[in-house]
Every structure is written in C-alpha cells, then in structure tokens.
Amino acid sequence: MTKHLILRFSYMLTVLSILFLTSCYTLYQPVKSDGSYVRIDHRITGESEAINMLIKPYKQQLESEMNTVLAMIGTELNRQKPESTLGNLVADILLVKAAEISGKKVDFAIQNYGGLRIGQIPAGPITKGKVFELMPFENYLMVVEVPGSDLVQFAKKMIEYGGWPVSEGIKITGKGQELDGLEIGGQPIIADKIYTVAMPDYIADGGDNCIYFVGKPRINTGELIRDVLVKWFEDQGKSGDIIRGKLDGRFILN
C-alpha cells in the first residue's frame, strides 16, 4: 500500500516537474501592440544639457563659418519659372566656372529648378550659410557632350516642366507645350552637331527623367556646385562688384 502511495507521489512529482520545467523555458508571444507618436514641439520644455554641451563646439565653429559675408547683392534675387533672376545667375555662374575648370568652350549651362532650395536671396550681404541653403546637396559640376537632337528633346522636357534655369548661350521659346524655337550661340540648333553643356551630375546621370545625357561623353570637374558658387561670390566680394540679377528672355513660354 505504501509502495502504491509512493508510486502515486512520484507520479505527481513528475507531472509537477514537467509543468515547472516547461514554464521556466518559456517562449513569449506578442499579444497586443499600441502605436503613438510624440511630437517634438514647444510643449516639450526640457532639453538635455549633455546633448547641448556636445553640440556647442560644433555649432560655434559652424556659425562663425556660415556667418562669413561673401559679397553684396544689389537687388533681391528670385526663383521663378520659366526664367528668373536667381535661376539665370546660378546657371551663368556654372557656365563661367565649367569653362574655367575644364578648359573647354562650353555652349551653355543648365540647373534643375528643384536643385535650388530657396525662393529668394534678399538684397544686402550674402553669407556662406545662404549659399548652403540654396544648394545643400552634394552635386558635382559636369561637362557633357550632347547631340543637338537630344537637346531638342531636353528642351521639350524643360517646357513640360514650365521652364528651368539656363545660362546665356541658349534661347528657348515655347508655345503652350510645344517647342517653338531653340537657338544655341545665336544660331538655330543643328540636330547632328555635338554641343558642350554644363550641368549638375544629378541631371547628367538621368535625374528628373533627363535620360538624354545618360551614357554621353563627359568630364567631371570634381567640384561641388556649392563650392563653385561660394568661390564665385567670394571673388565678386573681393573685387567689390555688386551683384544684380538679370532677365533677358532666354526662356520664353507663350
């Protein structure tokens, strides 16, 4: 009888042990999830001092650099379509600098509208920080050789986009969505002639659906467009020239 009882007891113990062991080696499963968002705004009054201390030396060095005045702007520059004072100026700078750095005769320059990140530069001193705001991305200045036939397609694309910043040396006229006139260097475009065009690498690599330049012979100037702009403004400042925008009907949409 006692033996029977011991058997029963050990049976119970075994069951309990199994129960105990399985509950120790446990896999967990998610049964419920809630989502929420914390907006980081004025209602959050506290700031981490440790973080601010970490940022401080970087911020101070950056600010002194960014507050450097490069040159004087005579009249406010604006970014508009199809043609604008700011767009014309940037494209003209790219033309001059691309020719200077590559040592080639460059026919004209283009700058994608979306690559200009601010709408205006006020009259007065222009700082390095402002040029960074205008061109925050790391775009390189390229010189690409393009047949006239591809430039016709590209001009149509620019008309579809409502006009893009272009430099001196090209004149585009559109009527509605149609290309009405395209002159390069004061002459009507020739389909099988190869033209030399300065542009950001973003466009040369097919950005904004500009497939016309992909695979075409090219020179990378190795210069960031932002650095090129900073250098140009700096030079104007040194020579005391006041910068004024101009509109000359290089891109007309009727």
Sites of contact with other proteins (CB under 8 A): 1-2, 4-5, 8-9, 12, 16, 19, 22-23, 25-42, 44, 46-48, 50-52, 54-55, 58-59, 61-62, 65-66, 129, 132, 136-138, 140, 201, 205-207, 226
**Chain mean position to CA 24:** 55
Write the CB contacts of 109 (distance below 8 Å, at least 6 apart in sequence). Answer: 91, 92, 94, 95, 98, 166, 167, 169, 197, 198, 199
- Residue 218 CB, nearest distance to other proteins (Å)? 12
- Residue 167 CB, nearest distance to other proteins (Å)? 23
176, β-bridge pairs: none
Q: Nearer Cβ to other proteins, position 20 or 240?
A: 20
Distance CA 112, CA 29 (A): 51
- Residue 17 CB, nearest distance to other proteins (Å)? 11
- Residue 61 CB, nearest distance to other proteins (Å)? 8
Distance CA 152, CA 15 (A): 85
Q: Nearer Cβ to other proteins, position 100 or 205?
A: 205
DSSP 3-state of 117: coil
Q: Nearer Cβ to other proteins, position 7 or 242?
A: 7
DSSP 3-state of 198: strand
Q: Nearer Cβ to other proteins, position 63 or 235?
A: 63
Write the CB contacts of 209 (distance below 8 Å, at least 6 apart in sequence). Answer: 157
- Residue 222 CB, nearest distance to other proteins (Å)? 11
Q: Nearer Cβ to other proteins, position 54 or 191?
A: 54
